[in-house]
Amino acid sequence: MVGNNATVLPLRDYRGARRTLYFTRPELNPLLGLSNRTRARRIWRHFAVDRRDGQALFSVFRHTHESPVYTIVKTTGAIPGEASFTVLSGRQRMRAAGSLAEVLDFFRSKLALVPGGGD
């Protein structure tokens, strides 16, 4: 700034375009239902809901002090107002889809009961 010549810059022009993203109640209901069913069968023990810049995360754990077994990530889609969902196991992408229902289909095959053999 030299003398009284100052330039005022609006911060909104320099802030990131990403907004905070959360799971909606209609999205949380099937996630919590899946978590309750798997905890009742002792497949998963704990879950965590978190957020990062432009992402909402739902992670499930087998044990308290381990890394998550799976993480369901909601991100903003290419079209404003739309979201995309991804299932991660560690850093490996297991399934990606445009709706939560499609992503949760991944767990239907993973968590199906296997019939007992030849009793």
Q: What is the pLDDT of residues 72-107, one digit of tens each?
A: 999 986 676 788 999 999 899 999 999 999 999 998
pLDDT tens column, 17-51: 556 789 999 999 999 998 888 888 888 889 999 99
Q: Which residue has the higher pLDDT, 62 or 78?
A: 62
Say what the pLDDT of residue 18 is: 56
Specify the pTM: 0.73
The separation between CA 30 and the C-alpha centre of its own chain, rounded to angstroms, equals 13
CA atoms within 13 A on the CB side of 26: 3
Contact 90, 67 (CB under 8 A): yes
